[in-house]
Amino acid sequence: MESTRSSSPNPAQGTRSSTWCRDLLITLVCTVAIALLLVQYDDFDAAAYPSEELAKKPVFEVPRVNSHVLHGSEKVGEGQLLGPEDIVYDPKLGVIYTSCSDGWIKRVRLSDSEVEDWVNTGGRPLGLALGNSGEVYVADAYKGVLKITEDGAIEVLTNEAEGIKFGLTDAVTVTKNGILYFTDATWKYELHNCVLDIFEGRPHGRLMSYDPSTKQTKVLARDLYFANGIEISPDQDFVIFCETPMMRCMRYYIQGEKEGSIDVFIDRLVGLPDNIRYDGEGHGEGQYWIAINTEHTYSWDLARKYPYIRKVLAFLEKYQKRPSVEKNAGAIVVDLDGKLVERYYEPELTLVTTGIKIGEHLYLGNLMTSFITRLNLTQYPATPSSLTN
Ligand SMILES: *[C@@H]1O[C@H](CO)[C@@H](O)[C@H](O)[C@H]1NC(C)=O
């Protein structure tokens, strides 16, 4: 009662409120204890990430930055492009292809943003690559690597290697000789629960190649941490692929002296990388665009360090109660030597999966939107950052 509460304090009420407090405390402690016990007996087994990787701090200083990438941007194909994960440009037709969550690969004419339902894979197309004769290669999360001819016929090229089926075919790129290089992010999980792979902290990813002339699939590297986006270098001497939870991109040499070896192209990324795209046509002064799902946040740092936290997160994920901690998604630009030159992001953006510059524009694909974000970079460029000297 209001009147009782506002009246002068009496000893009985003090006792009542402290009892109430104690009850609340007991309830809280019991709830937490039960939750911890449940998690304890959950059989999800999270592993420690390699300590030398944990010791690497992300680099937040970038020479040029645009921290409001949505400002001045347009929505391309709004309502028609569901979760456009990857984008590939066909300069001959003046269209982009994009991979959507309803199975459609849609084609968008750049001159007037007209959207066309091109081909439905019946799965979940992710990474795309344009072949040398107008065909499109698709990394379909559920179906493997597909070839789609210009007239829309679908062929499954490969979906397993060394007796292990792909769990989450993620990205694909093609050389001028027609050899495909692609990633399987994890053989253990599927797209719908792939975040568990990152929470588990063990490397289930593979880098592979497929030669259409022999129909052979080769495993080039195994034990990768969530092998994600992939891109061929302009000189066709290596492929670069992203290892998302390691916040780095690796380089696998496909010819020359270093053929077959792997080194780090860029690490200590500002966040979790997804697709990588080269913006140059042929040789020359192009740059790589690496999509950043989310910035490296304090909570992600803790989760990465402590397997127990990831176990709790995996438990919460099962009941769809996991807090969302993603922020500052966008894309970074890296030069041919692996040096970070620009960053484009927006505080409230999450799950940007691809970024590519076509002409004057930056195009961003995103799992959370029903459109592609387009920004005129001449009008809204990244500008020198005050963080650097
Ligand atoms: C992009 O912005 C620049 C500078 O405002 C403008 O000159 C150009 O026409 C724009 N490009 C397109 C394709 O709209």
Domain of 173, in residue numbers: 17-388
Q: Is the CB of residue 102 less than 8 Å from the CB of residue 118?
A: no
> What is the distance between the terminal CA atoms of the chain, rounded to a whole angstrom?
63
Distance 346 CA to ligand 1 centre (A): 21
Distance 376 CA to ligand 1 centre (A): 6
Whether residue 222 lies inside any domain: the answer is: yes
212 within some domain: yes
Confidence of residue 388 (pLDDT cuts 50, 70, 90): very low
Task: Report how far residue 349's alpha carbon sits from residue 102's, in angstroms, rounded to the nearest whole number.
Answer: 22
In-domain check, residue 10: no
* Alpha carbon of 360 to ligand 1 centroid (Å): 7
**Which mutation among 76, 110, 379 tests ligand 1's pocket best, with the greatest number of atoms within 8 A of CB?**
379
Residue predicted with more confidence, 312 or 277: 277
How high is the pLDDT of residue 18? 76
pTM for the structure as a whole? 0.90
The highest-confidence range among 7-21, 270-284, 343-357, by mean pLDDT, is: 343-357
342 CA from centroid of ligand 1 (Å): 20
Whole-number pLDDT of residue 224: 98
Task: State how far the Cα of 295 lies from the Cα of 314, in Å rounded to an integer.
Answer: 20
Is 11 domain-assigned?
Answer: no
Q: Residue 3 domain-assigned?
A: no
- Output the DSSP codes for 233-292: -TTSSEEEEEEGGGTEEEEEE-SSTTTT-EEEEE-S-SEEEEEEEE-SSSSSS--EEEEE
Tell me: the pLDDT tens digits for 36-80?
A: 777 777 889 999 999 999 999 999 999 999 999 999 999 999 999
Q: Which helix (DSSP H) or strand (DSSP E) does residue 382 occupy? A: none
Give the burial class of 12: count Cβ atoms within 10 A of its Cβ; 0-12 exposed, 13-18 middle, 19 or more buried: exposed
What does DSSP assign to residue 316? H
Whole-number Å distance, alpha carbon 68 to ligand 1 midpoint, is 18
Let me know if residue 71 belongs to a domain. Answer: yes
DSSP letter (8 states) at residue 143? T
Residue nearest to atom 2 of ligand 1 (CA): 379
pLDDT tens-digit profile of 262-289? 999 999 999 999 999 999 865 568 999 9
Task: Return the higher-pLDDT residue of 66 and 12.
Answer: 66
Q: Closest by alpha carbon to 291, among 254, 337, 321, 326?
A: 326
Which residues sit with their C-beta closer than 6 Å to ligand 1?
360, 376, 378-379
What domain count does the chain have?
Answer: 1
The whole-angstrom separation of Cα 221 and Cα 250 is 11
CATH number of the domain bearing residue 356: 2.120.10.30
Work out which ligand 1 atom sits closest to the CA atom of 376.
1
Residue nearest ligand 1's atom 5 by CA: 379
pLDDT at position 389 over 50: no
**Helix (H, G, I), strand (E, B), or coil: what is residue 154?**
strand
**Encoding tokens for residue 234?**
């302009």
In-domain check, residue 279: yes
